């Protein structure tokens, strides 16, 4: 896919962090960006700044995601960045982990990602194929926690592991329709999730990374998302974006 002027793109979870950086990068390339997010204030302001559209959407809600997909005319690229985290040991001093937070994390991170994937791909299926038969690209977001989940990360790691496992069968499902599917698995990135930590704690986290020894920048995620869209041979792959980091147990 060529990210040319007017390419229709949807960024779920696009109001902040990795999603915001991706929306900005796509708009700078000339794409018509639709931002879907729960945060209406940030999302609407960003869409207005970028000359795009904003749709308030919970990724787990079929109707809201369908509305976001419908708002993205001639949708060719969907990037799914919406996600939440939760930390809790499987068994604590006062008993087993709570079930509800586990269910919620899986619902948002995995089921929400699949919801965006299936509805975006259905819309892309109606596109006129380009000369090589491509109709669209979907980029999903996992995490290196999918492979090296730390203590307390059972819910988050399970949800992101599900996204990683979803990638290849989805790419195979959609190959006949000319739609590619890839997933980015970021390591430690400078996102709102880490913004509340003291600066010395953030620096210490960054120094765990072999090279470069710093937190990843959202713009680096966005650059990879654009490259996946443009490189036709990237399909069915989970790409680690982590500076060679392998997470320890804690």
Domain around 99: 8-193+219-241
- How confident is the model at residue 73, as a pLDDT? 85
User: String of b and e for 27-45 (b: at least 16 CB within 10 Å)?
Assistant: bebebbbbbbbebeebbbe
pLDDT tens digits along 134-172: 999 999 999 999 999 999 999 999 999 999 999 999 999
pLDDT at 197: 77
Six token digits for residue 11: 């960024």
Whether residue 199 is contained in a domain is answered as no
Does residue 18 belong to any structural domain of this protein?
yes
pLDDT of residue 112: 98
Q: What percent of the chain has pLDDT over 90?
A: 90
CA angle (82, 168, 114) in 5-degree steps: 30
The whole-angstrom separation of Cα 103 and Cα 108 is: 9
Q: Would residue 249 count as lying in a domain?
A: no
pLDDT at residue number 118: 98
Instruction: Label residue 1 by pLDDT band (50, 70, 90).
Output: confident
Average confidence (pLDDT) over 232-236: 98
Residue 203 lies in a domain: no
Catalytic residue among 156, 159, 174, 216: 156
Please check whether residue 212 lies inside any domain of the structure: no
Share above pLDDT 70 across residues of the chain, in percent, rounded to a whole number: 100
Position 192 scores a pLDDT of 80
Global pTM value: 0.96
- The first and second tokens of residue 75, run together, are 């949708």
* Residue 5 pLDDT class (50, 70, 90 cuts): confident
185-226 tens-digit pLDDT:
999 999 887 777 788 888 888 999 999 999 999 999 999 999
pLDDT for 249 beyond 80: yes
Taking residues 105-110, report their average pLDDT: 98
Question: Which pLDDT score is estimated for 93?
Answer: 93
Residue 202's pLDDT is 85
Mean pLDDT of the chain: 96
Is residue 207 a part of any domain in this protein? Answer: no
Q: Is 221 a catalytic residue?
A: no
Query: CATH number, domain at 75?
Result: 3.40.50.720
Q: What is the pLDDT of residues 41-61, one digit of tens each?
A: 999 999 999 999 999 999 999
**Total domain count for the chain?**
1
In a domain, 201, yes or no: no
SS3 of the chain: helix, strand, coil, percent, to 5:
45, 20, 35
Contact between 130 and 76 under an 8 Å Cβ cutoff? The reply is no
Q: What is the pLDDT of residues 64-82, one digit of tens each?
A: 999 999 999 899 999 999 9
Judge whether residue 3 has pLDDT over 90.
Answer: no
At residue 58, the pLDDT reads 98
Domain for residue 157, yes or no?
yes
Task: State residue 63's pLDDT score.
Answer: 98
């Amino acid at each position: 896919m060529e990210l040319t002027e007017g390419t229709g793109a949807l960024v779920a979870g696009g109001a902040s962090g990795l999603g915001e950086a991706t929306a900005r990068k796509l708009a700078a390339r000339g794409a018509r960006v639709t931002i879907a997010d729960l945060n209406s204030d940030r999302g609407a302001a960003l869409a207005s700044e970028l000359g795009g559209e904003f749709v308030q959407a919970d990724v787990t809600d079929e109707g809201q995601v369908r509305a976001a997909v419908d708002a993205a005319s001639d949708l060719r690229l969907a990037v799914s960045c919406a996600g939440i985290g939760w930390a809790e040991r499987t068994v604590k001093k006062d008993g087993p982990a709570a079930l509800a937070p586990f269910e919620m994390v899986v619902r948002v991170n995995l089921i929400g990602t699949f919801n965006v994937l299936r509805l975006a791909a259905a819309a892309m299926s109606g596109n006129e194929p380009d000369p090589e038969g491509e109709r669209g690209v979907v980029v999903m977001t996992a995490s290196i926690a999918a492979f090296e989940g730390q203590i307390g990360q059972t819910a988050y790691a399970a949800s992101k592991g599900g996204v990683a496992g979803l990638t290849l069968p989805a790419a195979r499902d959609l190959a006949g329709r000319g739609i590619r599917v890839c997933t980015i698995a970021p390591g430690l990135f400078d996102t709102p999730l880490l913004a509340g930590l003291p600066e010395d704690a953030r620096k210490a986290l960054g120094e765990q990374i072999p090279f470069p020894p710093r937190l990843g920048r959202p713009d680096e995620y966005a650059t990879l998302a654009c490259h996946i869209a443009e490189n036709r041979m990237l399909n069915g792959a989970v790409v680690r974006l982590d500076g060679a980091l392998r997470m320890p147990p804690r």
